[in-house]
Structure 1
Amino acid sequence: MAKLLELDGEVLASYFSQLTGLLAEFADPSPDRILDLGSGPGTGSFALARRFPAAHVTAVDISAQMLHRLSKQASTHGVADRISTVEVNIDESWAEFSEGGPSDLVWAAAFMHHVADPARTFARAFEQLRSGGLVAVTEMDFFPLYLPEDTGVGRPGLETRLHAATSTQPPHEWTDHLRDAGFTLLERRPFDIRLDETQAGPSLNAYAMGSLAKLRSHATEVLDADDLAALDVLLDDEQPHSVARRDVLSLRTTRTTWIARRP
């Protein structure tokens, strides 16, 4: 999962640049202290550090492995002095990363739906921010699509059926939670992401393989045997139709971001 998240940052670099650019339009003054909740291996932390070169980012995650990878990458990117990590369960005490004072920006990407009590977490984020500070919450509306209708393996429409079978939860919606916590909603922005292999870069094949393999792990009981067999061929590096070997791939997905301010 850590590698897939790192690939997400590589392949969707233009999207992260666009999103952090939007945040910069609302941030006045530019943030000095940023809190990345559920940071994983640092995809968001690094994007924020690039956009706001004077800011210090505190990356918070429950996984020591994720934070270890983040720290190694921070050194590689030359921002180790501007990113610190805190290993903690967000559903428990925030004292360990609240002692340094209020934050200017709280970032939570593909994370809020994991917390035990979203209302409490939004209320804590409100308390963590200075007056005028921002919170940015992002959710993936659906896993990316990569393949053509006819992949050359099995029946056409395999990827569409895979998504329909595994995407059983309704889209996340945080507008009311933010307002109930006391925030003023500034923007609810859906990002329609469409990238070809040139725009996505050389990591697209590996990213597609990882994403489809993750969906495959949830599909055993919900796809028929023929579709599962076709999917296994597509995920086999040795097969000529493998996703890893394809010269032509694209990425299509949407992500939604809520930006709100503490009055």
Structure 2
Amino acid sequence: MTSTARDHDGSPTHRHGHPSDLEGQAEILELDAEVLADHTASITAWLPLAASPRQIVDLGCGTGAGTFALLAGFPEAHVTAVDSSADHLRRLREKAHEHGVADRVRTLQADLDSTWPGLGEPDLVWASASLHHLADPDRILRQVRGTLRPGGLFAVVELGGFPRFLPDDAPEFRPGLELRCHAASERRHAEHLPHRGADWGAKLTAAGFTLEGERTITVHIGQSGSGSVGRYALSALRRMRGAVADELTTEDLAALDELLDTDGPHSILRRDDLAVRTERSVWAARRG
């Protein structure tokens, strides 16, 4: 289970894949962490914690976007990072060594659809963009509640859909292309991800939690001098193409390929009007 990896069209995934697919997921994870770092930090700062947590679990950690934000926000904490991908966990450990925090991180490979791992008694459990991929998320919510120490907090973060990058009237040679790609993506999600867009507040309450806070953060990040937004858009739209190509018209697919051709005149990397536009919804729930 990955924190913000993108499967097919950019939605988070916890599935195993071929090495090339895992490489693509990891690339998205790294760009996601870089571009959305300030927003992730603002979420950790908002959490209604009575005291700074010492033991944290990151469910669906990916390559560590949430893990490292939690380590930075809570400098006395240790994080158990859980994911089903051995490759993502390896990358996370490498980054932990590079950042000098390896002694504060424990990685644990587990498929939560199969087995609930031993996680101790954490003060905080963090699950970002992962719960809606589970076969039975209600069961996992109950497991989390039973794992948390009394009074512990569960933070659920979900993206409000796949990020958008282009203005509505772009590209000039095929206006509205991205909107149509999103529509095709939503049709696929409706079939394959029934828990996407769930009312997590109601689910948390039903699992026995007390809802302490809920907020939605609007994300709008313009193009930067580093080019990270352009690289993020390129990587994400490449993965979206792999999922929706058979649902696009010939004209739309050709236009998308022009955007993704990094050597061509219409490459998305040449555009100066890109922005990351999405929403993040956060629920903070306490175990009584």
TM-score over 0.5 for the pair: yes
Q: Deviations over 1:128-156 (max 9, x none)?
A: 10111100111111111111233345321
8 Å CA contact 2:171, 2:177 repeated in 1? no
Counterpart mapping for 1:189-200 below 5 A: 189-198=215-224
What pairs with 1:147-158 in structure 2 (closer than 5 Å)? 147-158=166-177
Query: Is this contact kept in 1: 2:157–2:283, CA < 8 A?
Result: yes
2:160–2:280 Cα contact (<8 Å) kept:
yes
- Give the AA of the match of 1:135: F
SS of equivalent residue, structure 2 residue 124: strand
**Scaled by the length of structure 1, what TM-score is found?**
0.93
Match of 1:214 among 236, 239, 257: 239
The equivalent residue for 1:49 is 71
Q: Take 1:201 and 1:160, find their aligned partners in 2: how far apart are those partners?
A: 26
What CA distance in whole angstroms lies between the structure 2 residues aligned with 1:90 and 1:235? Answer: 35
- 1:8 equivalenced with 2:32 (yes/no): yes
2:60 and 2:81 in contact (8 A); partners too: yes
Q: Cα deviations across residues 73-119 of structure 1 (Å, max 9, x unaligned)?
A: 11112211111100111123334x33xx3100001111001112111
CA contact (8 A) 2:167 2:273 kept: no
Give the AA of the match of 2:215: R
Query: One-letter code of the match for 1:66?
Result: H
**Structure 2: how far apart are the matches of 1:8 and 1:70?**
14
> Is it true that 1:138 corresponds to 2:157 in the alignment?
yes
Instruction: Tell me the residue number matched to 2:283.
Output: 258
Normalized against structure 2, the TM-score is what?
Answer: 0.85
% identity of equivalent residues? 46
Q: 1: distance between equivalents of 2:198 and 2:263?
A: 38
2:63 & 2:30 partners in 1: Cα distance? 7
Segments of structure 1 that go 5 or more residues without pairing to the other structure are none
State the AA in 2 paired with 1:251.
V
Moved over 4 A (4+): none
Q: Distance in 1 between matches of 2:205 and 2:61?
A: 24
Q: 1:128 to 1:262 in 2, by over 3 A?
A: same
1:37 matches 2:63: no
Contact 1:4–1:207 under 8 Å retained in 2: yes
Q: Find the aligned partners of 2:168 and 2:141 in 1 and give their Cα distance.
A: 41
Aligned equivalents of 1:113, 1:222: Cα separation in 2? 24
Q: Once superposed, what is the RMSD of the aligned Cα atoms?
A: 1.5
Does 1:22 pair with 2:41? no
Higher mean alpha-carbon deviation, 130-139 vs 149-158, is at 149-158
One of 199, 205, 215 as aligned partner of 1:173: 199
Matched length: 257
Partner of 1:82: 104
In 1: Cα distance, 2:251 partner to 2:112 partner: 42
Structure 1 residue 247: Cα displacement: 3.1
In structure 2, the CA distance between the partners of 1:92 and 1:219, relative to structure 1 (3 Å rule), is: closer
Report the residue type matching 2:252 in the other structure.
D
Question: In 1, distance between residues paired with 2:172 and 2:29?
Answer: 28
Q: Which segment is superposed worse, 71-80 or 243-252?
A: 243-252
SS in 1 for 2:153: strand
The amino acid of 1:215's aligned partner reads M
Distance 1:163 1:112 in 2: 21
Which AA in structure 1 matches 2:111? N
Against the structure 1 CA distance between its residues 132 and 201, is the aligned structure 2 distance closer, same or farther, given a 3 Å change threshold? Answer: farther
- The answer to whether the 8 A contact 2:82-2:107 is kept is yes
- Is 1:114 matched up with 2:133? yes
Partner SS for 2:262: coil
Greater strand proportion: 1
Whole-angstrom distance in 1 between the partners of 2:233 and 2:169 = 16
Counterpart of 1:160 in structure 2 is 179
* Partner Cα separation in structure 2 for residue 241 and residue 15 of structure 1: 30
Residues 160-192 of structure 1 show CA distances to partners (whole Å, capped at 9, x for unaligned) of 111112113362321222111110011221111
